[in-house]
Amino acid sequence: MTIYRDRIEQKLSAALSPQTLVIEDESHLHAGHAGAHPDGGDETHFKVRIVSDVFEGENRVARQRRVYALLSDELNERVHALSLTTQTPAESKSGASP
C-alpha cells in the first residue's frame, strides 16, 4: 500500500502545481534506525524532488517550510523524515540550487 505516498503526491500537486514531482519511499534504507516504524512497514522516510513556479523568489528554508506545512498531518501521523529538493523551473534547467 502507498497511502502516505499518495497523500503526499495529492497535496503537493494541488498546492504547488509542480512541473516535476518525484517521490521515493526510502523507508527500507532506515530499517532499525530512529523513526523506523515498529511494524517494519514502509512510508516513514521519503525523498521528494519538486520543481514549481511557486518557489520563485523564496529561499531554500522558505520552500521547505512551505512543504512541511502542507504535509503536517503526514509528519504527525507516520512520516518521520523528508529529504527535499525544491527548485524553480529555471534552477532545474540550469542544475542550480536555491
Which tens digits make up the pLDDT trace of 17-61? 999 999 999 886 655 555 544 555 577 889 999 999 999 999 999
One-letter amino acid of 59: N
C-alpha cell at 76: 504527525
Start-end of H helices in 1-98: 3-16, 60-70, 72-77, 89-94
Alpha carbons 98 and 81: distance in angstroms, whole number: 21
Nearest to 60 by CA among 90, 97, 93, 91: 97
Domains delineated in the chain: 3-94 (3.30.300.90)
| CB hemisphere CA count around 5 (13 angstroms) | 16
pLDDT score, position 22: 98
The helix/strand/coil state of 41 is coil
